[in-house]
Chain A
Amino acid sequence: MAKIVELPRLSDTMEEGVIASWHVKKGDKVKRGQVIAEIETDKATMEFESFDAGEVLELLVPEGEVMPIGTPIAVLGKAGEDVQAALAARGGEGKAPQGAAPHDGGAHAEASDEAVEGSRSQQGDAPAAAPAEASPGRVPDRIAASPVARRLAREHGVDLTAITGSGPHGRIVKSDVEAAAAGGVTASPTVVAASDEADERGRPFVRRPDEPQKLSQMRKAIARRMGQANAEIPHFYLTAVVDMDAAVGLREQLKAVLPVKVSYNDLVLLAAARALVTHPEVNAYWDGQTIVRRGNVHLGMAVAVDEGLIVPVIRYADQKGLLEIAEQARDLGLRGRDKQLRPEEMSGSTFTVSNLGMFGIDQFAAVINPGEGAILAVGAIADTVVPKGGELVVGKRMKMTLACDHRAMDGASGAKFLATMRDLLEKPLAMLA
């Protein structure tokens, strides 16, 4: 029997995915463990290794189409096996292949001897493998819907084929039908509003429609998590100004002697890791019932990528030195921008640092990552006129803003943490000891 390959769950939070690219085509022979596709998840683009061996009988979805976990994406088997029968046997949730009939002589002619051997014996034992003509066209798709969803759809006159299911394997569930009934999937066509808006000479302005954008998986994840954070977490903000003169001097010296380029953000990460050890009450979060102090210091660092933002994690940052942090931050940042990070490299952070200094931002307030109690937003180092010994001098100053979850900590705890960070950054040599 041919095997149906389903879209796998490649990260904890993945709900949908996209085939970024197929690495095989119909008729190819696939070994177990061979990469057959690259799949874009909410976090990264990952290589998908086949769990099964066989010939690619059909690719069921094109590149670029969003689908829920569990969607059939390909059929593997022995040459000549009936793709339609395999899909029908599965329960018909799958999308039947479009165009080509199940038997495609051209591709099969190229199959190896072994595959031909297999197909012969298969046909010998199983006359049920019917010729293509017996089942032309598409197998009618059965829509996966829960019984109560079907009943409500009947009662409200909702067309199930017009709904996207949110349940497992795309099953249409009660809430989907209720939403459709409330939102009116059967609603009347859009009414074009008559516009009399015109310029002073009576010429109508050009009207352009709003365009809902196709969301990447990452954008959906950001929208969901940040919406949740803003709705649930009572944020408060503390800003401190740091004298960066010593840090700038130290970095110039390190640049000359170290094999790795150390950035100011690396110094901030190092200081944050050290300060979190001193102030464990900031390395803590509200879990809905109580405050959980995190045992480890895993630093998230926000990295801007084309589609949005990822937060790779420097694990056990409190036990690492400046060089290790600098190397790792650089590596995570580069691979993150190339979407090459594994999901586990982007989860589990206990505190996050976000830096917009390179964009010239003086200061900003960040949204706390759910599952953490605080986030540090770091601005640019700027030449600033400051009073010194009765005179006005120019010094390097940096503003950083700590956003805290007020359920997990109070102003004083956040302030003490920021003060420790400031001390560390103002006397950075101490961190290298």
Chain B
Amino acid sequence: MTVLQIREALRAAIDEEMARDDRVFVMGEEVGHYDGAYKVTEGLLAKYGEQRVVDTPIAEAGFAGVGIGAAMAGLRPIVEFMTFNFSAVAFDQILNNAAKLRQLSNGQFTLPIVFRGPNAAAHMLSSTHSQAFESFYCGFPGVKVISVATPYDAKGLLKSAIRDDNPVLFFESEVMYSVKGEVPDEEYLIPIGKADIKRPGEGITVITWGQGVPVALAAAELAARDGLDCEVIDLRTLRPLDDEAVLASVRKTNRAVLVYHGWPYGGTGAEVSDRIQRLAFDHLDAPIERVCYDDVNMPYAENLEQLVIPSPERALEVIRKVAYYRI
């Protein structure tokens, strides 16, 4: 085992896959000569050269399209968005080309491409740079969506994403690139579509992903002081969803709370909530609750931003409510 930061684990995944398969290459703004805006791709240009680590102009629609074309032609591109906020410019490429060409060509083309970068609010970046994109990218078929919260998951899932023959949107977190954790020295893969129990428990199921994971774990610690035993499930893959992991936990606890970075209207939180009430209706002892952003554009002011972003304390209140806990 080696202790790595998430950025180092991601780099190790890219490095190993580039060494393993010379069709794999990296493309994006500042990924080469600047070593990556968040240093995920540091050193790769020196190791693999300009043909496989490609600095692009500030033109997301263009380089996303180039990546899709390269994938159709048999390469395996990793396209870095400096943040997923900028993927909005490339949305048409992802929605109408990446997600659909395999079906439109009756399987003549596969689309082995990974779009990766940080997602959701960081700190005081205001509304246009603090957006959670899972609502959009999980909202249509033809892509897979992953969101990671630990170095172990980051490496194992990015390697699986690079080897997948379908477009994968891979969400990281700007504020979590420095989070450290143990990563095995030997090679491993984590299958796409499998959730992970980050904290076992019997009382309340807390479902989370990405930046929500540390919030949910901290809330579970607070709840433990009240004698409330939370099981924290990190979905890791948002599409396809690991229904069975969620349902098995809810059948045990009879209660579910979702804690995540994202808006309340629709999206992954609403989808999970729907599946629980539909597929485990007779196991629920309380309404399913969600702790997420308020339904507002992210404020720039620090005090207001803190009100919108889920905190362990806010999650605790909701956990108590769902547990019918009385102070």
Contacts and interface: CB of A to CB of B under 8 A. Distances in A.
Contacts of A167: 286, 324
A146 B327 contact: no
B282 A147 contact: yes
A160 interface: no
Given A167-B286, A173-B286, A148 B326 contact: no
Contacts of A166: 324
B150 interface: no
A282 interface: no
Given A174-B254, A288-B225, A289-B225, A146 B285 contact: yes
Contact of B283 (A12, A15, A151): A151
A299 B281 CA distance: 50
Nearest to A15: B326
Contacts of A3: none
Given A288-B225, A289-B225, A173 B324 contact: yes
B283 A173 contact: no
Given A148-B254, A288-B225, A174 B327 contact: no
A173 B285 contact: yes
Contacts of A150: 282
B285 A174 contact: yes
Interface residues on A, range: 10 to 19
A53 B25 CA distance: 70
Interface centre among A166, A167, A174 (most CB of B within 10 A): A174
A289 B223 CA distance: 12
B125 interface: no
A12 B327 contact: yes
Interface in A1-55: 12-13, 15
A343 B318 CA distance: 25
A116 B200 CA distance: 63
Interface residues of B, number: 11
Contacts of A12: 327
A149 interface: yes
B324 A168 contact: yes
Contact of A151 (B225, B282, B326): B282
B284 interface: yes
Contacts of A173: 285-286, 324
A12 B326 CA distance: 10
Contacts of B281: 147
Contact of B284 (A146, A288, A289): A146
Contact of A148 (B225, B285, B327): B285
A300 to B, nearest CB: 18
Contacts of A288: 225
B283 A148 contact: yes
Nearest to A289: B225
Name the prevailing secondary structure of the B interface residues.
loop
B58 to A, nearest CB: 50
Nearest to A173: B285
B28 to A, nearest CB: 46
Contacts of A15: 326
Contacts of B225: 288-289
A353 to B, nearest CB: 25
Contact of A147 (B283, B326, B327): B283
Contacts of A148: 254, 282-285
A168 B286 CA distance: 10
A288 B226 CA distance: 9
Given A174-B254, A289-B225, A149 B326 contact: no
A335 to B, nearest CB: 26
B171 to A, nearest CB: 33
A149 B326 CA distance: 19
A405 B312 CA distance: 29
A288 B286 CA distance: 27
B71 to A, nearest CB: 45
Nearest to B251: A148
Nearest to B281: A147
Interface string A169-211: 0000110000000000000000000000000000000000000
Interface in B106-136: none
Interface string B259-298: 0000000000000000000000111111000000000000
A129 B128 CA distance: 50
A13 B327 CA distance: 7
A167 B284 CA distance: 13
A166 B327 CA distance: 14
Interface in A370-390: none
A146 B288 CA distance: 12
A325 B273 CA distance: 55
Interface string A282-301: 00000011000000000000
B223 to A, nearest CB: 12
Interface string A257-271: 000000000000000
B104 to A, nearest CB: 43
A168 B323 CA distance: 11
Contacts of B285: 146-149, 173-174
Interface in B61-86: none
Nearest to A167: B324
A13 B326 CA distance: 8
A167 B281 CA distance: 18
A15 B325 CA distance: 12
Nearest to B277: A147
A9 B228 CA distance: 24
Nearest to B283: A148
A13 B225 CA distance: 19
A398 B216 CA distance: 54
Contacts of A149: 285
A15 B285 CA distance: 19
A106 B286 CA distance: 44
Interface in B185-203: none
B224 to A, nearest CB: 10
A146 B323 CA distance: 12
A150 B282 CA distance: 8
Interface centre among B283, B285, B324 (most CB of A within 10 A): B285
Interface string A134-151: 000000000000111111
A168 B287 CA distance: 11
B241 to A, nearest CB: 21
| Nearest 9 A/B pairs, CB to CB | A151-B282, A174-B285, A146-B285, A148-B285, A147-B284, A148-B254, A288-B225, A147-B282, A147-B281
Interface of A: 12-13, 15, 146-151, 166-168, 173-174, 288-289
17 contacts: A13-B327, A15-B326, A146-B254, A146-B284, A147-B282, A147-B284, A148-B282, A148-B283, A148-B284, A151-B282, A167-B286, A167-B324, A168-B324, A173-B286, A174-B285, A288-B225, A289-B225
Given A149-B285, A168-B324, 7 more contacts: A12-B327, A148-B254, A148-B282, A148-B283, A150-B282, A151-B282, A151-B283
